[in-house]
A and B are shown apart, each in its own frame.
Chain A
Amino acid sequence: MNKANVDASNKYASQEELRYAKVLDICVQAGLVLLILSFVIYVSGILPPLVPFELLPTYWGLSAKEFVKATHMPTGWGWVSLVGKGDILNLVAIAFLAGVSAICSFAVLPIFARRGEMAQLFIALLQIVVLVLAASNILAGW
């Protein structure tokens, strides 16, 4: 084992792995609670959905492109302005779960930086950049 792993408080996991696991654990639990809560709000009808339940079978057989056109569902981050709709509210939890790994990678950056492990630091930074790029919808026009 090299110096990086000797700092660990656990024989089998390094310091950065333990921090990554801790942040991931918290985020996953929060994300799942958010997903279940938003789905209950959606199906209970507390918030009206963008696509009425009875029309769902008409639309879910369409391609994503046709669905967006037929339901006026916004693409990119346009859904944020519609979080008051029951179905769109679920996307908050889904987006959070999809962004969790960037939060975790961000959490371990200081450990790599402190040890001067520039290769791992650069890879973790690039990992965050790729996820932000994917989330930003910048590539959609390509």
Chain B
Amino acid sequence: MSSGRNFGRALIAIGLIALCADTPAFAADAAASVMPWWGWPLALFVVCFFLGIVAVPAGVGGGVLFVPIVGGFFPFHLDFVRGGGLLVALASALAASPGLLRIGLANLRLALPLSLLVAAAQIAGAMIGLVLPSSIVQTTLGVLILGIVVLMWASDKSDVPDVPVADALSAALGIHGIFHDTARRSDIEWKVHRTPIGLAVFVLIGVLAGLFGLGAGWANVPALNLLMGVPLKVAAGSSSLVLSMTSSAAWVYLNQGAILPIVVAPSVAGMMLGARIGARVLHVVRASAIRRLVIAMLLIAGARALLKGLGIWG
């Protein structure tokens, strides 16, 4: 247990040092003159590998860490970072979803209507994001990331919310399921309520996801769990499935030339390799320690994005 704690502390220290110490070096103009071109994709792979390790135990998708951190500290234009962020989130979700579906932790009947609305809204968000000046996108991204920090800090999740009666829409669509909870050593049947409100919330989530290239697992899980009454594990799994089904914004970025292979390929590879390690780290490190690390990283990256957008820093 103490080795787990030490590992957790070491991980937190490395993460914060990496973010803070590299800040001056990552000031794009200065660093571009000293770093060979191949140094950036290599650094991207290393950073994404580290982000992949912490993303899984912290219960966040890769995109929400990727966009503010890479956008704030790497020389790539925010357009390419957001395009990369969407593909990082998509690749992670695609890889995780088959396993989650087979064990009942992701539900297709729940994900289909949600992903339809998110996919449509994402197109609008991506189109808005690509015409807005990057300073405005950077500033609002900073505000949003700091809002997510508050949400992560304060949110009160419920393992298995009490849903006395399923609403008419979810009953008509057959949205319910069963999964095995290993902690409780029992099968848990679930149903949902407030589906119409949930659908409206997911439209808003889709616009934000397309606009900022964030993936949106950070918003999907609380909306599914706290609003619609989906058990936390199924909410996390179904959020991943929704992310995997909503690639419409990635298409918009691809069609507009905002996908740069030198950014995307090392990011996706690093994040997916890191996520495999992260799944193992989950067993040896306290989730709360990782969660604090992610909150600290998002706080720094959100402040950086805000200050960069306002022209105060970088």
Contact surface of A with B, Cβ cutoff 8 Å: 1-2, 4-5, 10-14, 16-18, 20-22, 24-25, 27-28, 31-32, 35-36, 38-39, 42-43, 53-54, 56-57, 60-65, 67-68, 73-77, 87, 90-91, 94-95, 97-101, 104-105, 108, 117, 119-120, 123-124, 126-127, 130-131, 133-135, 137, 139-140, 142
Contacts and interface: CB of A to CB of B under 8 A. Distances in A.
Contacts of A95: 254
Contact of A140 (B179, B244, B246, B255): B255
B174 A98 contact: no
A53 B38 contact: yes
Q: Do most interface residues of chain A lie in helix, strand or loop, or is the interface mixed? A: helix
Contact of B97 (A21, A60, A77): A21
A131 B251 contact: yes
B87 A97 contact: yes
B255 A17 contact: no
A13 B94 CA distance: 18
B248 A131 contact: yes
6 contacts: A12-B104, A64-B77, A67-B79, A97-B90, A127-B112, A133-B248
A28 B94 contact: yes
Contacts of A60: 40, 75-77, 80, 260, 262-263
Query: Considering the complex of A and B, which 4 residue pairs feature the smallest CB-CB distances, nearest first?
Result: A12-B104, A90-B261, A134-B248, A64-B258
A128 to B, nearest CB: 10
Contacts of B108: 14, 16-17, 20, 108
B94 A87 contact: no
Q: How large is the interface on B (under 10, 10 to 19, 20 to 34, 35 or more residues)?
A: 35 or more
A10 B113 CA distance: 23
B12 interface: no
Contacts, number: 209
B80 A56 contact: no
B103 A12 contact: yes
A112 B150 CA distance: 41
A99 B247 CA distance: 7
A17 to B, nearest CB: 5
Contact of B77 (A16, A43, A53, A61): A61
A57 B176 CA distance: 50
A4 B178 CA distance: 13
Contacts of B97: 21, 24
A13 B268 CA distance: 29
A14 B111 CA distance: 14
A56 B76 CA distance: 10
B126 to A, nearest CB: 8
Interface string B242-267: 00111111111111111111111110
Given A13-B104, A75-B256, A22 B98 contact: yes
B115 interface: yes
Interface string B69-85: 00000011101100100
B292 interface: no
